[in-house]
Chain A
Amino acid sequence: MRAYTPKDDVQAKAYYTDRFYVAPQVPKQDVSTDPVFAADLEAISAKFEVKESFIQVENMVIYINAKDIYAVLEFMRDSLEYTQLTEMSAIDWLAKDDTFEIFYQMLSMNKRKRTRIKFFIKNGDAVDSVEKLFRCADWSEREMFDMFGIEANNHPFMKRILMPYDWQGNPLLKTYPLEGDEFAAWYEIDKIYGKEAREAIGPEIRDTARVDRYDSERFARLGYEQPKGTKITGNEEPTVQSYQEEGGVFMVTKFDKDTSKIIDDPQR
């Protein structure tokens, strides 16, 4: 018999890992290899605490303290010519050590350089909003709140942006099931028809390959269509596909395949 291994903590590690497998990692260079980045890092580390810094795929990555984020971005925008915040969001590390990693991707058009500012926050902590510095952070922080549940202090309109306002749950968390929890599964039914309609409408059919040829309520066998609710025996006559009724339609010209012209040349 095989030894039992508990699988309830499947998120923490892969189900199966090869003995000699080494996870590939993008190589990191020291910041001193690039003079522009080195000067930027020196300017930032003179004013703020820098925990870690390296260059990865021509991007400088700097880890700072969460409380410094507004001042760091303001300093980078006003003094270091990083005029654009191109992207910001969070990474879910809840299973590892109950933290979120927040990143801000900065672009300097003058220097033609990209720098990523990163920091960790504990689950449940809020970040400082940088919406006053970069207008684009308005929607990004709302999306972060929507998808991860991380609130931004001093944000002018801290509401969900993609999901409905009355949604429950944060879909980009790794613990959130792709097909939705129970709230998501019944959301539209509960909202439109009320909870008492659940039984009448029934659960979602998530199996996309499900076909039941004897279920005439939901399925119709191609070429053997029957009225809804008919009991299917399997001995049905084939149904004739036609555009119009047999006797023709009142005041509408009968479509005749023999007299109609079939166009073979699509480039006519």
Chain B
Amino acid sequence: MAQHKVNYTQDGGLPVALTSIDKIVNWGRSNSIWALTYGLACCGIEMMASGASRFDFDRYGTIFRASPRQADVMIVAGTLTKKHAEFIKRLYDQMTEPRWVISMGSCANTGGMFNTYATVQGCDRIIPVDLYLPGCAPRPETLQYGVMLLQKKIRANSASKAQKPKRLM
């Protein structure tokens, strides 16, 4: 016989929580942010560390996916070169909406130290970015905080289907 832990003497005797559609949808979205593995440079090492046991992204429901079709957030971790720019756009287009982008580290934010001909000066020239994480490279704690801020941002938005899709142009 299953040992369930529902206490029928509390909460009106019902194992039921009342909420709104927006809240339950946003709760689901914000607590299962699947991230696209997008390690482009050394920031990717910190992103991997965030996913590993010590920092453990699984606690937030953030699981790294190898396919953009299964991912909700793209963590651009590293230097975006001009040669790679078209591929980041292609991968972003393959992600299903709603989708979010975290620009991780100086290089992804502004080009960083690579003030050269071959580096895109900030990945927001190619795709719309929700969150910029400063640092070179940001510690895993920064990325954790960034994911929590993104959760907060997701909860603040309306969950309705009519939400405006993000476009750079």
Across the interface, do B85 and A191 meet the contact criterion of CB distance under 8 Å? Answer: yes
Residue of B nearest to A181 (CB): B117
- The answer, yes or no, to whether B3 is at the interface (CB within 8 Å) is no
Nearest chain-B residue to A187 (Cβ)?
A: B82
Closest CB-CB distance, A180 to chain B, in whole Å?
A: 3
Considering the complex, give the chain B residue whose CB is closest to the CB of A192.
Answer: B89
Write the nearest CB–CB distance from B130 to chain A, whole angstroms: 11
Q: Are the C-beta atoms of B169 and A200 separated by less than 8 Å? A: yes
* Residue count of chain B within 8 Å CB distance of chain A: 32
How distant is A176 from chain B, measured CB to nearest CB, in Å? Answer: 7
Q: Is the CB of B117 within 8 A of A177?
A: yes
A164 at the interface (CB under 8 A from B): yes
Contact between B152 and A244, CB atoms less than 8 A apart: yes
Task: Please tell me if A201 contacts chain B, counting CB pairs below 8 Å.
Answer: yes
CA distance A193 to B127 in the complex (A): 11
Chain A neighbourhood of B126, CB < 8 A? 188, 192
Which A residues between 160 and 200 are near B, CB-CB below 8 angstroms? 162-164, 171, 176-181, 184, 187-189, 191-193, 197, 200
Residue of A nearest to B144 (CB): A243
Evaluate whether A204 and B125 lie within 8 angstroms (CB atoms) in the complex, with A191-B85, A192-B86, A197-B169 already known.
yes
Q: Does A249 lie at the interface of the complex (its beta carbon under 8 Å from any beta carbon of B)?
A: yes
Given contacts A245-B155, A249-B27, is CB(A205)–CB(B121) below 8 Å?
A: yes
Evaluate contact between A193 and B152: CB separation under 8 angstroms: no
Q: Mark B121-164, 1 if CB is under 8 A from A, else 0.
A: 11001100000000000000000010011001001100000000
Name the residue of chain B whose CB is nearest to the CB of A251. Answer: B27
- Check A188/B168 contact, CB under 8 A, given A179-B115, A250-B23, A252-B31: no
Given contacts A189-B125, A243-B145, A245-B152, contact A180 B117 (CB under 8 A): yes
Q: Is B53 an interface residue (CB 8 A)?
A: no
Chain B CB within 8 A of A206 CB: yes
A163-B83, A176-B117, A191-B85 given; A205·B169 CB < 8 A: no
B10 beta carbon closer than 8 Å to chain A: no
A206: which B residues are within 8 A, CB to CB? Answer: 115, 121
Q: Which residues of B contact A181 (CB under 8 A)?
A: 117
Q: CB-CB < 8 A to B117: which residues of A? A: 171, 176-181, 184
Residues of chain B lying within 8 A (CB to CB) of residue A189: 125
Contact A164 B83 (CB under 8 A): yes
Q: Which chain A positions have C-beta within 8 A of B71?
A: none
B115 touches A163 (CB 8 A): no
Please, which residues of chain B bring their CB within 8 A of the CB of A252?
Answer: 27, 31
Point out the residues of chain B lying under 8 angstroms from A164, CB to CB: 82-83
A208 contacts B by Cβ under 8 Å: yes
Chain A residues with CB below 8 A from B113, complex form: 208
Closest to A191 in B: B86
B-facing mask of A150-164, CB < 8 A → 1, else 0?
Answer: 000000000000111
B52 in the interface (beta carbon within 8 A): no
Given A180-B116, A244-B152: A204 touches B82 (CB 8 Å cut-off): no
For A196, give the chain B residue with the smallest CB separation: B169
Binary contact readout B78-104 vs A (1 if CB under 8 angstroms, 0 otherwise)? 000011011001000000000000000
Contact across chains for B110 and A188 when beta carbons are under 8 A apart: no
- B152 lies within 8 A of A188 (CB): no
Beyond known contacts A192-B126, A208-B115: 14 more, CB 8 A cutoff: A163-B83, A164-B82, A176-B117, A178-B117, A188-B85, A191-B86, A201-B125, A204-B111, A205-B110, A208-B111, A243-B145, A243-B148, A249-B155, A250-B24
| 6 A-B pairs with C-beta separation under 8 A | A179-B115, A181-B117, A184-B82, A184-B117, A192-B85, A245-B152
Residues of chain A at the chain B interface (Cβ within 8 Å)? 162-164, 171, 176-181, 184, 187-189, 191-193, 197, 200-201, 204-206, 208, 243-245, 249-252
Return the 6 tightest CB-CB contacts between A and B, nearest first: A180-B117, A188-B85, A184-B117, A204-B121, A164-B83, A243-B148
